[in-house]
Amino acid sequence: WQMATSRMEDGSHLVRLTDRSAAHASEQMRVDFVANASHELRTPLATVLGFLETLRDDDQAAGDPATRGRFVDLMYAEARRIHRLVDDLISLSRIEAERFSPPRESVPLLPLVEEVRVGAGQLLEARGGRIEVVADAAQPVALGDRTQLLQLLQNLIVNAIKYGRAGETVTVRFEDAGAEMLRVTVIDRGEGIEPDHIPRLTERFYRVDPGRSRSMGGTGLGLAIVKHIVGRHRGQLDIRSTPGEGTQVSVLLPRAAGPGPMSSKSHVNV
């Protein structure tokens, strides 16, 4: 990955990450990754085991419905965290294994945003937010892997909801970028990211505020997964942010050959 950082006229910082080679991650990175992943799994697992031991050994705790109920809820939340982590780890290794075979399905993107919106319904409600879609073409269609593009949109949109300001709108913009590419930009009005952090956000398990990420259910793998999906699609990932104002993450993807750009602008609020 090649990285270029530049300061934009409006004071925001743009960091562009481009996959220049298929070079293997260094051995040190692999060792760190295994250590981090084990630690991330060990913590919730230790919590679950602790509660189970109490329920097994402490008749008073086990006999009290309120205590038992509270323990079950806590164990459920920790087990969910383990599940999310394992799912993300599996996704990462799958995407990496497939990195030499660019996917070639025609994938209409608006239905994917709708899927994300439905899946994120609870989170959206909790944060009082909404998703707005702005598209150049009536139906932007990428050339890629549907499941992975859904995951890419999901990770970016969910981050924008989580780290955006409560009650704010998240914008998902689709634009033509030349004859063969299209650009997807997810924009939030949130706390933004200090420039020093931006180059490291796509590292596995890197979080600006670990407590915040964990309390929001984050695994710390979302942007690493996005980077790998973009790499497999031979695309480009840009992260641009202004602290205190918000973040724009934009992804350049191959466009499916079709009727071509349409002049009618559509503006859909979902």
Contacts with ligand ADP by CB under 6 A lie at 155, 159-160, 163, 188, 190-191, 193, 201, 206-209, 213, 218-224, 247
What's the closest the beta carbon of residue 84 comes to ligand ADP, in angstroms?
9
What's the closest the beta carbon of residue 54 comes to ligand ADP, in angstroms?
29
| Cα-based angle 243, 168, 207 (whole degrees, multiple of 5) | 45
CB burial of residue 152 (10 Å; 0-12, 13-18, 19+): buried
What's the closest the beta carbon of residue 190 comes to ligand ADP, in angstroms?
5
Residue 29 has a CB neighbour count (10 Å cut-off) of 12
Cα-flanking dihedrals φ and ψ of residue 124, to 5°?
-60, -45
What is the rounded CA–CA span in Å between residue 174 and residue 134? 6
Hey, which residues does 269 pair with through a beta bridge? 132
- Which of 71, 121, 84 is closest to 225 using CA atoms? 84
What is the rounded CA–CA span in Å between residue 148 and residue 233? 10
What's the closest the beta carbon of residue 225 comes to ligand ADP, in angstroms?
8
Helix (H, G, I), strand (E, B) or coil at 82: helix
What's the closest the beta carbon of residue 26 comes to ligand ADP, in angstroms?
20
Residue among 151 and 219 whose Cβ is closer to ligand ADP: 219
Residue among 219 and 250 whose Cβ is closer to ligand ADP: 219
CB burial of residue 76 (10 Å; 0-12, 13-18, 19+): exposed
